[in-house]
């Protein structure tokens, strides 16, 4: 471990508009994400001498103060040829600005906290300047977007901030939905437990969250639904589905134990949540990008048994 002294940074136009937590995760590559959120929560990171929340968006000429930090030694782990082949085989769309991956499950987006290497670190051995535009949980598959240029990353963050990115997920949920349940408008609040685990719940004190659900196919005990994110809160689809009484199959955090047990008996070994498609128009080029990530053979085979 190495220890830094207090550091001061002046924010330039290139990174203006980014959330400070996303900026710090990229800037402080050898600092664990959990520690970054801890110093933000404790007010040890200051912008213009003031405390700021993780959601604060940086402005050009902001004066950023970073406290002394314990740095992890840079990981010497290298991706195996098998991992690189698996990831490159999952590329759905690519040009000089962007790369969109059909993320496989079980692989974390970032390394750290005992995970020697994640998708970002692996792909950077092929694309050194690659930056992650958004996140998916390790147990969620589907469309994952990367930017090859900092300017494009800034564009994507602004599109997401203004709701100009259309994201559609597929999820297998408990029971059958009624028409009145299709729109879920319920604020969400994050709660950090002592164990460090992040939980989200519906709360009047939370942030606005809106999800549109549409049933695609009904089964005996479950329904395959399409979920469109109007806002993009942490665990939004999972918590909104649970709130409506239709938790997602295989969800160990917000799910129904008996339902999960029944689904496991039929062969489900994962969370049934898949980022099915993403669509946006990149302002700098005017190009409309619409990418669909097919569900895995594993999930297709499982649906045939339900």
Catalogue the active-site residues: 137
- CA distances to 148, 169, 215 from 241, rounded to whole Å, are 34, 12, 12
DSSP strand pairing (141-147 vs 273-281): parallel
Question: What does residue 112 show for φ and ψ, rounded to 5 degrees?
Answer: 120, 165
Residues 6+ apart with CB under 8 A from 18: 57, 58, 153, 154, 157
**What is the Cα–Cα distance from 156 to 15, expressed in whole angstroms?**
12
DSSP strand pairing (2-3 vs 70-71): antiparallel
- Please count the other Cβ atoms lying within 10 Å of the Cβ belonging to residue 302: 21
Query: Alpha carbon 71 to chain centroid distance?
Result: 24
Helix (H, G, I), strand (E, B) or coil at 20: helix
Residues 6+ apart with CB under 8 A from 220: 306
Show the beta-strand stretches assigned E in the chain.
2-3, 7-10, 46-47, 50-51, 63-66, 70-71, 91-94, 98-103, 131-132, 141-147, 166-174, 183-185, 188-192, 198-202, 210-218, 222-229, 273-281, 288-292
**What is the Cα–Cα distance from 121 to 130, expressed in whole angstroms?**
9
Query: Up-side HSE of residue 260: CA atoms within 13 Å toward CB?
Result: 15
Q: What length is written for the chain?
A: 306
């Amino acid at each position: 471990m190495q220890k830094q002294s207090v550091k001061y940074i002046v924010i330039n136009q290139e990174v203006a508009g980014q959330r400070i937590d996303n900026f710090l995760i990229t800037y402080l590559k050898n600092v664990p994400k959990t520690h970054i959120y801890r110093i933000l929560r404790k007010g040890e990171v200051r912008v213009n001498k003031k405390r700021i929340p993780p959601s604060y968006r940086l402005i050009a000429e902001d004066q950023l103060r970073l406290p002394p930090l314990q740095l992890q030694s840079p990981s010497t782990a290298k991706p195996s040829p098998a991992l690189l082949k698996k990831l490159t085989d999952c590329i759905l769309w690519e040009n000089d600005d962007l790369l969109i991956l059909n993320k496989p499950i079980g692989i974390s987006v970032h390394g750290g906290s005992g995970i020697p290497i994640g998708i970002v670190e692996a792909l950077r051995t092929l694309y050194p300047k690659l930056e992650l535009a958004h996140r998916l949980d390790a147990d969620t598959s589907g469309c994952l977007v990367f930017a090859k240029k900092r300017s494009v990353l800034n564009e994507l963050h602004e599109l997401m901030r203004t709701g100009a990115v259309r994201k559609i997920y597929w999820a297998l949920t408990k029971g059958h939905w009624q028409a009145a349940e299709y729109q879920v408008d319920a604020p969400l609040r994050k709660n950090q437990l002592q164990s460090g685990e992040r939980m989200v719940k519906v709360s009047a004190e939370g942030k606005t969250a809106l999800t549109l659900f549409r049933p695609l196919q009904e089964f005996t005990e479950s329904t395959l639904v399409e979920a469109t994110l109007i806002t993009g809160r942490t665990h939004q689809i999972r918590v909104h589905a649970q709130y409506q009484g239709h938790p997602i199959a295989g969800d160990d955090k917000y799910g129904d134990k008996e339902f999960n047990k029944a689904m496991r008996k039929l062969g489900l070994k994962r969370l049934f949540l898949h980022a099915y498609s993403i669509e946006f128009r990149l302002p700098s080029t005017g190009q409309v990008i619409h990418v669909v990530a097919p569900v895995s053979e594993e999930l297709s085979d499982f649906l045939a048994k339900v």
